[in-house]
Amino acid sequence: MKKKIIVLIFVFLLSGCKDTSYSNGTSTISNMNQLEEIFTTMMDEGNHDELTQVPYNLVGGVFIFDNRILSLDTLAYNVNTGSNKDGFTFDNFMCSQTDSFLECNEQEMFGTIEELEDSITLGEVVNVFSNVDIIDIIEGISDNFNIYTSKPIMIDLRFNNIDEVNSSLANSEYKIVFYGEELHYQDSYVANDIMLKITLYIETDNNTEIFEVFYEID
């Protein structure tokens, strides 16, 4: 259920008016630098480049860590195509895992968004995503909280602005921030720029533990 909710945040309501489908290689991620190649294919297929602007809250990815293997489940971004009397319109560009391969498509959003958030370039997104060591973060969280599981772990990556980060940290049971190439557990951190929020869903025999890690962007 959580996975479906996260994916819907990226996709919104899509129409079938415009649908361009293609394959984008294996979903297994042996090195996060692979995301650069995946993103490059998506940008080429969508006629975008590293300077293309996207709202920071309309880009993200979902990964699965299972049996020591990391795979990309969903990667998506939305590009503003104009506006009408109801708000701003977008096209959605998404790759999702099907039988261990990435199947991608471009679709036109059926709905609109009333207000545009601050933008980030696709080049910045690629740089940030490619430098995140997801497995290292999972191992750090597991060791610090002594929580281990043999079940798949879902990881959600998305950007948060300053207010969202500080609000989440103020209300979070675990105040976890990644900077200086390591995890920090502290009460006093205050964000002064947009950050990447990495959410881990770790399912144990008894329940699902949720950890939010706020990752400083260089």
Q: Which helix (H) or strand (E) holds 8?
A: helix 2-11
- State residue 16's pLDDT score: 45
Average pLDDT over residues 9-28: 66
Residue 5 pLDDT > 60: no
Distance CA 31, CA 151 (A): 21
Query: What integer pLDDT is reported at residue 110 of this predicted model?
Result: 66
Q: Which amino acid is at 53?
A: Q
Q: H-helix or E-strand containing 169? A: helix 162-171
Q: Which residues pair with 53 in a beta bridge?
A: 121
At 47, the pLDDT band (50, 70, 90 cuts) reads very high
Which pLDDT score is estimated for 86? 82
Which position has the higher pLDDT, 95 or 115?
95
Tell me the mean pLDDT in the region 57-71: 94
Q: What local confidence, expressed as pLDDT, does residue 18 receive?
A: 55
For the residues 96-105, what does the mean pLDDT come to? 92
Mean pLDDT of all residues in the chain? 88
* Digit-coded pLDDT (tens) for 172-187: 888 999 999 999 998 7
Going from the C-alpha of 69 to that of each of 6, 151, 152, the distances in angstroms are 21, 12, 10
pLDDT at 155: 97
Token output for 128: 């940030």
> For the chain, which residues make up each domain, given as ranges?
1-131, 132-218
What pLDDT is attached to residue 19? 59
Q: What is the pLDDT of residues 106-136, one digit of tens each?
A: 888 766 777 788 899 999 999 999 999 999 9
